[in-house]
Amino acid sequence: AQTVTQSQPEMSVQEAETVTLSCTYDTSESDYYLFWYKQPPSRQMILVIRQEAYKQQNATENRFSVNFQKAAKSFSLKISDSQLGDAAMYFCAYTNQAGTALIFGKGTTLSVSS
């Protein structure tokens, strides 16, 4: 069975600094999709970034980028130039090519200080 592990329950960063959130996963599939979702306090969960396993190039979305290491089954999220609005719980998630339900990690709570 596929699993997703986020080993950092909490992280903190100062404004304008860079922070990296870790995620590892386990699967025997060769084709799959990985996601980072953001859930601000009392607000809706939104997609931050996605990565297709068949793509070697790491995905980037403005200040957010990933380091996808397929052989190591690692999928970390880097947030550059952190802003107060980045404070949230971040979930790493996996789905296989059949595209059924997402499998989530337990989440990392990120706090940002000024």
**What is the contact surface with another protein in residues (CB under 8 A)?**
9, 33, 35, 37, 43-47, 50, 52, 91, 95, 99-102, 104-107
Least distance in Å: CB of 114 to another protein? Answer: 26
CB of 34 to another protein, least distance (A): 10
Cβ proximity to another protein: between 21 and 107 the closer is 107
Measured distance CA(13)–CA(77) in Å, rounded: 14
Beta carbons within 8 Å of 31's beta carbon, 6+ residues apart:
53, 54, 96, 97
| Separation CA 37–CA 114 (nearest Å) | 23
Do residues 95 and 102 lie in contact, with contact meaning Cβ atoms separated by under 8 Å? yes
Q: How far is the CB of 47 from another protein (least distance, A)?
A: 6
Nearer residue to another protein within complex by CB, 18 or 95? 95
CB of 1 to another protein, least distance (A): 10
Measured from the CB atom, the residue of 37 and 82 that comes closer to another protein is 37
Whose tokens are 């200040």? That residue is 63
Nearer to another protein, 19 or 53 (CB): 53
Is the dihedral angle over the CA atoms 114, 41, 6, 37 positive or is it negative?
A: negative
